[in-house]
Amino acid sequence: MTRLDFSVRPTTMADYDAVDALLSRVYPKLLKDDYPPSTRVLVLPRISRAKPQLLSCGTYYAAVTGEERIVGAGGWTRDRSDPLTGHIRHVVADDRFLRQGIARAILDTCLASARARGVTRMVCWSTFTGEPFYAALGFVRQQEITVPLDDGITFPAVEMTRTLAPSSL
């Protein structure tokens, strides 16, 4: 198998359609084995859409090929009440290119960016599917949670955390 050549860059609103298409195509496939149809039918329309505020925040990234094809996305935002804490947001890799280092490169970019901005703790509300990935990259399971979505719908997830060493920059 030829290794996919890609780079990671911040997203812009020009990436909206491509990121939206990636999320809406990949989430149903990746979550199929870990969530029952009754949960997926309610949550997928809410979690598998690109969010304009994330795409333009400066800390949401796309993995892109040389042809500017988006093959992964994800980012982080600072906690509103604790400036030393950041939250991982919607990390996903194209299911046609899994195990190519895409999600890891995005997560490494997120952690470096957060560390450079003084963040010392990252929180992730992982899907059940993503828990092994985050654990392999140093996140520690805290507890199962239910993430509130709109209209009283909740999504079962796993809260995970990781301490970040101070930046040497």
Q: Please tell me the predicted confidence (pLDDT) of residue 19.
A: 96
Percentage of the chain beyond pLDDT 70 is 97
Q: Please tell me the predicted confidence (pLDDT) of residue 66.
A: 86
How do the domains of the chain map onto residue ranges? 6-124
Within the chain, which residues score under 50 in pLDDT? none
**Structure letter (DSSP) for residue 47:** H
Q: Please tell me the predicted confidence (pLDDT) of residue 122.
A: 97
Map tokens 């079962």 to a residue. 156
Query: What is 6-124's CATH number?
Result: 3.40.630.30
- Write the CA distances from 73 to 1, 17, 51, 78, integer angstroms: 22, 12, 12, 18
Q: Please tell me the predicted confidence (pLDDT) of residue 2.
A: 58
Q: Please tell me the predicted confidence (pLDDT) of residue 120.
A: 96
Sheet holding 85-93, edge to edge: 6-10, 60-65, 70-78, 85-93, 121-126, 154-163, 140-148
Q: Please tell me the predicted confidence (pLDDT) of residue 61.
A: 97
DSSP 45-88: HHHSS--HHHHTSSSEEEEEETT--EEEEEEEEE-SS-TTEEEE
